[in-house]
Amino acid sequence: MTSEGTDNAHSSIYDFQILDADHQLYDLSQHKGHPLLIYNVASRCGYTKGGYETATTLYNKYKGQGFTVLAFPCNQFAGQEPGTALEVKEFACTQFKADFPIMAKIDVNGDKAHPLYSYLKRCLTGSAGVQAIKWNFTSFLIDRHGVPVARFSPGASVEEIEMQLLPLFEGEVVSGPS
């Protein structure tokens, strides 16, 4: 059963079950004890190359420590992700050698926003305190306890994310958006 309805009952991302690109149930609690990065992705965006390269670099560098990236295809921004989740998965794997999990296509804003994204946005607002995701490749860094600790704008570099990620391997909590 996927998490539906209001996000107010959730205390961490571990409370969510989602669907992956193959429409199989994916329980986020499998990541307990490890940091992760959650991205909304699109294949026809100006940030696509840099976003996937950043995600792939981080994943490959830290997956041995339990870190992972979860990519959520979204078509809410200028129709830049028209493909199915399986097409997105094939694109990411073929073009960018991404072998981190690709999820089912979702909405990240509006009345039909996935409850996980409603939760993430409620925990960490963007610039000027705005909750809405402003564009593709906005990302959220999650600590080892399943709590969102940093929100990154599209175009965030490996180094920017690492500054917030590395302390999480030590168990330190880093708070606030970067």
Active site (catalytic) residues: 45
Phi, psi of 92 (to 5 degrees): -65, -40
Residue 127 burial (10 A CB sphere; 0-12, 13-18, 19+): exposed
Q: Residue 108 carries which side chain, given as an amino acid letter?
A: V
140 and 131 Cβ atoms separated by less than 8 Å = no
Q: Nearest-CA neighbor of 122 among 19, 12, 32, 2?
A: 12
Calpha distance 39→33 (Å, rounded): 19
Q: 4: how many CB neighbours lie within 10 A of its CB?
A: 8
Q: Nearest-CA neighbor of 74 among 50, 110, 98?
A: 110
Sheet order of strands, 139-142 included: 68-73, 36-41, 139-142, 148-152
